[in-house]
Structure 1
Amino acid sequence: MAKIAFILLCHKDPDAIVKQAQSLTAVGDYIAIHFDARAPAHAYQAIRAALADNPNVAFARKRIKCGWGEWSLVRATLLAVEAAVDAFPRATHFYMLSGDCMAIKSAEYAHDFLDRREVDYIESFDYFHSDWIKTGWKEERLIYRHWFNERTQKRAFYAMFEVQKRLGLTRPIPEDLEIMIGSQWWCLRRRTVEAVLEFTRTRRDVMRFFATTWIPDETFFQTVVRHLVPETEIDSRTLTFLMFTDYGMPVVFYNDHYDLLLSQDALFARKISPEASDLKRRLGVLYASEGARFQISDEGRSLFKFLTQKGRIGRRFAPRFWETESTLGRERELLIVVCKKWHVAKRLLERIRQVTNVPCIEYLFNEDTTPLPDLGGIQSTMAKRHRHRRALMRMLFDYFESDRLIVCMDPSNLDLLEDFCRDRATTRVLEVQCQFSDSYLVGHAMRVGLAGDRTPQETLNRLLPTIRNDMLHESDRIRDAEFDNLLTMRESDSPEANADPLARFLGVAHDKAKEIADTDYLFAD
């Protein structure tokens, strides 16, 4: 059975560290602690005194002053790992933690999980070819030497960088290493940890190299483990659930996140708020429990992205530079069907196509698989369709040799609607308003990744009102835009009532519009 030695890097809140250590070791696991040398000595002594009688606790032989982005973080980790390897010969796995982490599964579940597969869990992505680094320096982290802390010694940090850059003082990357990158929160097997420690003793060249790289805690273990361990024995993921905001700050979890955290496919979570006392209490009880069952839905990141995007949706009034002086053509008519239920809009378009022979295209700005003619590559990707939207529409008018064209759009595409409705061409918009049952909203949440087959009902109950309100908000935004030619069909209205806006939208006789509105199962889910 797995026995875990936790590697804890911490720098504050001695009481919380003591409680964390007591909770993790109460079930028979171990912990090795490195307490930042920048923290007060009396705080460190308080921790040592409180845990002195606990045989499952060890301390790094030396305290290092740690700084963000520095080699000191890796050095502190190695010291704690050495202490754990020496003190706990029965430990099978070594799990990296911070003082802000807490278990979100029971110890029983965690041991079971680690016993299932003989692998190391560490994010390990190709440094140069992956998109792990979204912005900022990439190669510069490695080929230049960094002796100063970017946050506390900014002037010296950038001055040394500029000097090296001007003089061409770059350095080679060790030839036999493939540099990897990933999260610093890993879980490694004992033989892997021992191999890493042996590597640090024999490869002083590599140690010197990483000692002056920038943010080496994201590259050192990730690179060395990949160098020493076969790829088949590495699961490139972290077992610690963490998220970041658009500003690069870690998302903090509070008391009301308990159910969400338990449903994630991870063993620990970071960061737990110091004020979330109830969450800490419940998670502590959970870790020591037996027989707990977990429904893993793993929708946390998609939920966070969905919810935090609300309220940041801007409106753009100036045309993009490539659209200046462009138009679809004054003599042309673009008819846009806007509907959240795509299957309803597709049924409507199929019936319009049969009755009117007007060229119809489904969700070309929402679905990659929408059938489109070959237009020289401008239609090949969704990004190109959005970027060259007016050019794309002009080419479609030309392709169909028609001055009338019907397309479908999702209500979220307000920027597209505003662009096209400002065009010199005649643009009419038909919003098809549907009713959304709870079962439909659940299916929608699963289709877009906000929920899964195992998402707890309690999570769905909290999520559904947000999704419903989001859809209503999209419809409100369309009405608030005050488009000149906006018409509305409603699922709640009769075919006779819907025939009138449909006739004005298509420019056809009322009886022909009534024939379309009478389509069987038009609004059926």
Structure 2
Amino acid sequence: MVQIAFILLTHKDPETVIRQAARLTAAGDCVSIHFDARANPNDFVKIADGLADNPQVTFAKKRLKCGWGEWSLVAATLEAVKAAVEAFPEATHFYMLSGDCMQIKSAEYAHQRLADEQCDYIESFDFFNSDWIKTGFKEERLIYRHWFNERTHKWWFYKSYEWQKRLGITRKVPADVEMMIGSQWWCLRRDTILKVLQFCVDRPEVMKFFSTTWIPDETFFQTVVRHVVPEREIRSRTLTFLMFTDYGMPVTFYNDHYDMLLAQDYLFARKISPTAKELKTRLGTLWGEEGMAFPISNEGRAMFGFLTQKGREGHRFAPRFWETEATLGRDRALYVVVCKKWHVAKRLVEQIRTRSDLPCVNYLFNEEEELPPLGGIEKTLEKRNRHRRALLRMLLEYHRSDRLLICVDPSDFDLLRDLTSDKSETRILEIQTEFSDDYLVGHAQRIGLAGHDSPPQIYERVLPTIRYDLRYESERIRDAEFEHFWRIREASGLAGNAEPLAQFLKIDTDTAAEIAATHYLFSD
């Protein structure tokens, strides 16, 4: 039977800590608390008094003064772990939490999840070869000694680093220890915890090494667990859902995130806004619920990226540096069909291909459509987009033509701006289609904003955003006022579409009418 010992590090808000511990222990689990010795001592007294009658709560015997990026955070965690091991002999799992975390599943679900697979959950990536660290110090975290807190003693922190670097005073990572890195929010089995504690006793030189590394809470447990547990028993992930902004700051969750949080494949989430009282209330009752089903759609990260990146995408209008001198040629013409529904654009292109000698390719910058051999530049989408004018020039030469038709997704606004800035003539035809709710649901699933099992509330929130986004893409193209621009619409019918199609392709109206009359052109 699973019993979780929650390792709770906290430094503020005693009332919240008391409520959190009471909730977690109500389902038969237990809590070990380390309260920062730097914090208000009266707050600790409130917590100790408020939980004095709860036998499922214990406290670290030694309270440490903690600082961000310091060894003290790991030392405090170890103190809370030792207290939990001693106080709760029946605990099968030890789960690291903070005061900003809250459950997003029931205890029943969490216990079953942990019982189903005998493994440890801890992010554990190769320190030197992974890209887990995005910016700033990397190997400098390890090979130099860090005695000072970077936030409270910034001058001393960087001066000591500069002196060591100038004098060449470095050190090596312990030879038999493979350095790993990952999130500090882990869930470990009891046997693993006992092995980690024994490692701390057996390897004082490793403990000494970590004690002067920078941000060791992202490396210590991640490294030691890999050292004492077989890789097959480790899942390199956390069970706590957290996200970061582009600026490296944790994403905060609010009242309207409830349904999204429950649909993620995690047991807890951080961090919950202190002002999100409704969310805290709803999540607060969740841990004790029984018989609840939790359909997992796991769209949280994709949705966050989708919503936050709008406004950043498509705003790089300057040509790439390797294309500043490249051009398709003043006497050449590029025909661009812009359509969100790729199958509609491809049907139109097929009709154009059969009724003219205009060389056509589809979404060559969006999908791995097979192209003729062009010396390797055509092999990957990355290469195609990196050298797109060169690619188009080579396609023109391959087809021995001064004209070429391609398809472009309307989200690729920077591509359209880039192409229209070329010396060649760029002619653009936008195909405006209707978007039913069913289509938008499928679109949301295709791009990872929702899953087949997502609850209706997810779609109620996502569909208006997607519909607005598609409308915005079209309006942005119209507002650009491209010189050679035409539009056909699903609602316009044959009479309204033949003329702009004829002008776009420079063909007679009868041929354009035959193309526009394709009865299945706009079918989904």
Same fold (TM over 0.5): yes
Provide the rounded CA distance (Å) in 1 between the counterparts of 2:378 and 2:129. 26
Residue 152, structure 1, aligned to residue 146, structure 2: no
Displaced runs of 4 or more, over 4 A: none
Aligned residue in 2 for 1:376: 375
- Tell me, in whole angstroms, the C-alpha distance in 2 between the residues paired with 1:62 and 1:440: 59
- Partner SS, residue 429 of structure 2: strand
Indicate conservation of the 8 Å contact 2:107/2:289, yes or no.
yes
Residue 382 (structure 1) shift? 2.3
Q: Are 2:332 and 1:332 equivalent residues in the alignment?
A: yes
SS of match in other structure, 1:361: coil
What are the Cα deviations for residues 236-295 of structure 1, in whole angstroms up to 9, with x where unaligned? Answer: 110001111111111111111111111111000100111111111111111111111111
Aligned-partner residue type, residue 307 of structure 1 = L
Question: Partner residue of 1:500?
Answer: 499
In 1, Cα distance between the equivalents of 2:355 and 2:208? 75
Q: Matches of 1:363 and 1:160 in 2, distance apart?
A: 54
Query: Structure 2 CA distance, aligned partners of 1:187 and 1:523?
Result: 51
Question: Residue in 2 aligned with 1:488?
Answer: 487
Contact preservation (8 Å) 2:314, 2:411: no
- Partners of 2:271 and 2:6 in 1: how far apart? 17
2:512 match: 513
Distance in 1, matches of 2:343 and 2:73, equals: 53
- Do structure 1's residue 26 and structure 2's residue 20 form an aligned pair? no
Q: How far, CA to CA, are the matches of 1:186 and 1:192 in structure 2?
A: 12
Match of 2:72 in 1: 72
- Whichever residue aligns with residue 477 of structure 2, its letter is I
The answer to whether the aligner puts 1:461 opposite 2:464 as a matched pair is no
1:160 shift after superposition: 1.3
- Aligned counterparts, 1:408-419, within 5 A: 408-419=407-418
For 1:169 and 1:359, locate their aligned partners in 2 and report how far apart those are by CA, in whole Å.
64
- Aligned-CA RMSD value: 1.1
Bigger Cα displacement from structure 2, 161-170 vs 373-382: 373-382
Give 2:312's aligned amino acid: R
Counterpart of 2:208?
A: 208
CA contact (8 A) 2:183 2:238 kept: yes
**Separation (CA, whole Å) in 1 of partners of 2:318 and 2:306:** 27
Q: Show the counterpart of 1:362.
A: 362
Distance in 2 of aligned mates of 1:77 and 1:315: 45
**Cα distance in 2, alignment partners of residues 148 and 42 from structure 1:** 28
1:74-223 matches, within 5 Å, as 74-223=74-223
Deviation at 1:316, TM superposition (A): 3.4
Amino acid at match of 1:396: L
Q: Which runs of 5+ in 2 are unaligned?
A: none
- Matching of residue 401 in structure 1 with residue 400 in structure 2: yes
Listed one character per residue, the Cα deviations across residues 209-255 of structure 1 (whole Å, up to 9, x for unaligned) are 11111111111101110111111111111000111111111111111
Q: Does 2:432 align with 1:433?
A: yes
* 2: CA distance, partners of 1:283 / 1:505: 57
- CA deviation string 1:412-449 (max 9, x = no partner): 11111011111110110000001000000000010110
Amino acid at match of 1:387: R
Structural mapping, 1:303-322, within 5 Å:
303-313=303-313, 315-322=315-322
The structural deviation recorded for 1:114 is 0.6
What residue number does 2:474 align with?
Answer: 475
Alignment-mate amino acid for residue 88 of structure 1: F
Deviation at 1:314, TM superposition (A): 5.7
Letter in 1 for 2:49: A
* TM-score normalised by the chain length of structure 1: 0.98
CA distance in 1, matches of 2:290, 2:345: 51
Distance in 1 (alpha carbons) for counterparts of 2:71 and 2:361: 56
Amino acid at match of 2:435: F
* CA offset digits 1:477-514 (Å, max 9, x no partner): 00011100110011111123211111111111111111
- The verdict on how the C-alpha distance between 1:136 and 1:381 changes in structure 2, with shifts beyond 3 A counting, is farther
Query: Counterparts of 1:497 and 1:254 in 2: how far apart (Å)?
Result: 48
SS of corresponding position for 1:149 = coil
Offset at 1:142?
1.2
Aligned partners of 1:65 and 1:360: how far apart in 2? Answer: 68
Superimposed CA distance per residue, residues 329-376 of structure 1 (whole angstroms, 9 cap, x where no aligned partner): 011000000000011111111111111121111111111x11122222
Match of 1:51 in 2: 51
Q: 1:239 is matched by which residue type in structure 2?
A: L
Q: Deviations over 1:377-417 (max 9, x none)?
A: 22233232222221121111111111000000000111110
Matched residues, number: 524
Alignment of 1:208-357 (within 5 A): 208-313=208-313, 315-357=315-357
Q: Distance in 2 between matches of 1:22 and 1:412?
A: 49
| Structure 2 Cα separation of the partners of residues 136 and 380 of structure 1 | 34
Question: Which deviates further from its counterpart, 305-314 or 449-458?
Answer: 305-314
Unmatched 5+ residue regions in structure 1?
none
TM-score by length of 2: 0.98
- How far apart in 2 are the matches of 1:66 and 1:381? 49
Q: CA deviation at 1:317?
A: 4.0
Query: SS of the residue aligned with 1:146?
Result: coil
SS across alignment from 2:31: strand
Which shows bigger deviation, 350-359 or 259-268?
350-359
One-letter code aligned to 1:146:
H
SS in 2 for 1:288: coil
Q: Which amino acid aligns with 1:200?
A: C
By how many angstroms is 1:306 displaced? Answer: 0.6
Q: Read off the aligned partner of 1:358 and give its amino acid letter.
A: L
Which amino acid letter does the alignment assign opposite residue 23 of structure 1?
A: R
Q: CA deviation at 1:301?
A: 0.6
Farther off after superposition, 34-43 or 149-158? 149-158
AA matched with 1:97:
L
Cα distance in 1 between the residues matched to 2:274 and 2:302: 25
CA distance in 2, matches of 1:237, 1:26: 27
Instruction: Give the Cα separation in 2 of the matches to 1:412 and 1:317.
Output: 13
Secondary structure class of the residue paired with 1:286: coil
How far does residue 198 in structure 1 lie from its aligned partner after superposition?
A: 0.3
Percentage of identical aligned residues:
66
Q: Label 1:464 to 1:317 Cα distance change in 2 as closer, same or farther (>3 A).
A: closer
User: Helix, strand or coil: the match of 2:284?
Assistant: helix
Cross-structure match for 1:389:
388
